[in-house]
Chains A and B, each alone.
Chain A
């Protein structure tokens, strides 16, 4: 998967753009994401926390980073391990 690729959830309306990815299956709502997934399914328990538009999601090791560009009811994971919100230190507007 190349950075910039757009991925859709099979389990909800979530969409994400890949910022960084080295290996592993990218999932949402417990199901693999793909460029043309329908989004008709239902998120699996444990992967139904929801995604927030404009937030970035990463794994603990920093091997993957996703930008949520469309929110949904599922939550992102890499190989079954839930991704976490990337906390950004808010900065004052400078331009």
Chain B
């Protein structure tokens, strides 16, 4: 089934209803569907093998996504923050593409690749004008819907591909059609080239929940938009939530009483921050979502009731769940396995494997699925006795000290309980004796004195084990994060190795 049917159904059920708001302009489902059909004509006429978006969020993302789907061509939103050389290489890999957005940059970096280019306003206008009166035969949706390049920190970026069937399974399995009231609106502030940004468009359209786009996140703008559009739902990455709360603390005035549900994901949520948010928004429903590009977004959820129960509880096991990513979706299977592929019991850390219709696990170059269709996520984690999933970082981030596996998360979680530590990261540092040892980069909280190295080492020794004690302690003004709030551990490693 083609993902374009999601938009078609929304348009059929209520063509006049507003489906998207961006920069003050409102688009009905009928208009979006029409524009997607026109975009399909443009894409077919161009002969493009991919449709790329090199732009911030706007209605063009929806039109290009569903237009590409109708034309049977993968939609490939690109990270406009990439350096010229990296972006040029990606443009070469998807040539010839129809590219919407930064036309000048495409010409400069990939002028000879045969791309067809449109700036945003030209594209939406041309799409609306290209709708043919005759019924065009659209793609049946048996192929690839989305191609997303991974961040590629170690090698050239991998091209993860999602089939129509993966995304459709995810949406039909998790969203009830037309379930949103007309008053509901969801504020989308994640970039369009991230899986969360794409999933947000698809699920909101199928639920018929109005999409309010905020291209380029700033906390003040976010608060203003919640107020102006009476936003009911929002998805944020932890960094954004932190900045929103900071803006409120500074006294930014905005009526955000319409905000009923806040979902977050994309990076580790500091416990202190989520407790603070639960206090600050006592009537809001919080949901933590864990997922990957290769799994069509969410595969585990910590729901609103579980947030409140953990926040209120005095039982340490229940309270700890606020640090989990909740329970795997009922529509997927999830296992924790050791390095030899054996399934581990509750409480033991290993690599997270998933299987299900929404799980792609395919790259252009190869499939990452095993013989039985399981996808190794390369994320490390464990399930507790009640089935709550806890993440312990990337499997590649595990510190192997003299054959013992150490997850950075347990050291970081402990250090963050120190009043003088605002942020910290534990990474592997080279050790002659052990192969690898623990190194930590620490950010001191404003107004506090720098703790002594041995104070931190003693803290780890007394609360964890001697093997966890950091051999190398470095104080830094801040830690490196990407725009999704993901800690760039390789940069921390490089810093500690220098």
Q: Which residues of A contact B (CB under 8 A)?
A: 2-5, 17-19, 53-56, 67, 69-70, 88-95
**Could you tell me which residues of chain B, from 294 to 313, have a CB within 8 Å of some CB in chain A?**
297-298, 301, 303-304
Query: In the assembly, what is the distance between CA of A88 and CA of B330, in Å?
Result: 9
Please determine whether B330 and A93 come into contact, CB atoms closer than 8 angstroms: no
A93 and B186 within 8 A (CB): yes
Task: Give A56 to B177 CA distance when docked, in angstroms.
Answer: 10
Whether A92 contacts B261 by the Cβ 8 Å rule is: yes
Does B233 lie at the interface of the complex (its beta carbon under 8 Å from any beta carbon of A)?
yes
CB distance from A50 to the nearest CB of B (A): 16
Contact: B203 with A93, CB < 8 Å?
A: yes
Of the stretches B5-13, B75-83, B403-411, the one at the interface is B5-13
A54 x B178 contact (CB < 8 A): yes
Smallest CB gap from B2: residue in A: A4
Task: Check if B263 sits within 8 Å of A54, measured CB to CB.
Answer: no
Instruction: Name the CB-closest residue of A to B195.
Output: A95
CB-CB under 8 A from B285, the residues of chain A are 92
B270 to chain A, nearest CB (A): 20
Residue numbers in A under 8 Å from B206 (CB-CB): 54
Given contacts A90-B176, A95-B199, A95-B263, 8 further A-B contacts (CB under 8 A): A2-B142, A4-B1, A4-B142, A53-B12, A55-B177, A69-B8, A90-B179, A93-B186
Most buried by A among B174, B178, B233, B261: B174
Structural contact, A91 and B142, CB atoms closer than 8 A: no
Q: Is the CB of B289 within 8 A of A67?
A: no
- Are B289's CB and A94's CB within 8 A? yes
**When the two chains form the complex, which single residue of B164, B177, B263 contacts A92, counting CB atoms closer than 8 Å?**
B263
B200 contacts the other chain (CB 8 A) = yes
> Distance (Å) between the CB of B474 and the closest chain A CB?
36
Residue of A nearest to B180 (CB): A93
Question: With the chains together, A91 CA to B263 CA distance in Å?
Answer: 12
Q: Are B9 and A56 in contact (CB under 8 A)?
A: no
**Least distance between B39 CB and chain A CB atoms (Å):** 20
Report whether B304 and A92 are in contact in the complex, using a CB–CB cutoff of 8 Å: yes
Q: Measured between C-beta atoms, what is the minimum distance from B94 to chain A in Å?
A: 25
Complex contacts, A2 vs chain B, CB 8 Å: 140, 142
CA of A92 to CA of B303, assembled, Å: 7
For B175, the chain A residues whose CB sits under 8 A away are 93
Cβ of B245 within 8 Å of any chain A Cβ, yes or no, is: no
B235 near A: Cβ within 8 Å?
yes
B260-286 interface code vs A (CB 8 A; 1 in, 0 out):
010101000000000000000000010
B349 lies within 8 A of chain A by Cβ = no
Please tell me the size bucket of the interface on B: 35 or more
Residues of A within 8 A of B301 (CB): 91-92, 94
In the complex, residue of chain B having the shortest beta-carbon distance to the beta carbon of A68: B177
Say whether chain A's binding surface is mostly helix, strand, loop, or mixed: loop
- Tell me if B141 counts as interface (CB < 8 A to partner A): yes
Which B residues are in CB contact (< 8 Å) with A88? 172-174, 176
Query: Which residues from B are CB-within-8-Å of A19?
Result: 1, 168, 172
With a cutoff of 8 Å between Cβ atoms, the chain A residues found around residue B174 in the complex are 88, 91, 94
How far does the Cβ of A71 sit from chain B's closest Cβ, in whole Å? 9
Chain B interface residues toward A at CB < 8 A: 1-2, 5, 8-9, 12-13, 140-142, 164-165, 168, 172-179, 186, 196, 199-200, 203-204, 206-207, 209, 233, 235, 261, 263, 265, 285, 287, 289, 297-298, 301, 303-304, 329-330
Q: Cβ of A94 and Cβ of B263 under 8 Å apart?
A: yes
Q: In the complex, which residues of chain B have a beta carbon less than 8 angstroms from the beta carbon of A95? A: 196, 199-200, 203, 235, 263, 265, 289, 297-298
Q: Give the top 5 A-B pairs by smallest Cβ distance, nearest first.
A: A54-B177, A94-B289, A95-B199, A92-B287, A4-B1
B residues in contact with A18, CB < 8 Å:
1
Given the known interface contacts A53-B9, A93-B287, A94-B298, the answer about A67 and B172 at a Cβ–Cβ threshold of 8 Å is yes
Q: How far is the CA of A11 from the CA of B141 in the complex (A)?
A: 27
- Cα distance, A70 to B176, chains bound together (Å): 15
Which residues of the partner chain A approach B196 to less than 8 Å between Cβ atoms?
95
Partner pick for A93 among B13, B165, B207, B329, CB 8 A cutoff: B207
**B298, A53: Cβ atoms under 8 Å?**
no
Partner of B141, one of A4, A89, A91: A4
* Complex CA–CA separation, A89 to B175 (angstroms): 9
Known contacts: A91-B329, A95-B196. The answer to whether A17 contacts B176 by CB under 8 A is no
- Complex Cα distance A88/B298, Å? 16
Minimal beta-carbon separation of A72 from chain B (angstroms): 13
A3 touches B5 (CB 8 A): no
Within 8 Å CB of B141, what residues of A? 4
Closest to A52 in B: B177
In the assembled complex, the CB of B271 is this many whole angstroms from the nearest CB of chain A, namely: 20
Cα distance A1–B231 in the bound complex, in angstroms: 43
Contact residue among A5, A90, A94 (Cβ-Cβ distance under 8 Å from B265): A94
Q: Using CB atoms, name the residue of chain A closest to B288.
A: A94
A-chain residues with CB within 8 Å of residue B209 when the two chains form the complex: 93
Chain A residues closer than 8 Å to B5, beta-carbon distance: 17, 69
Which chain B residue shows the least CB distance to A92? B287
- The complex places the Cα of A17 from the Cα of B6 at a distance, in Å, of 11
19 A-B pairs with C-beta separation under 8 A: A4-B140, A4-B164, A18-B1, A19-B168, A53-B13, A54-B177, A55-B177, A90-B179, A92-B285, A92-B303, A93-B203, A93-B209, A93-B261, A93-B287, A94-B265, A95-B200, A95-B265, A95-B289, A95-B297
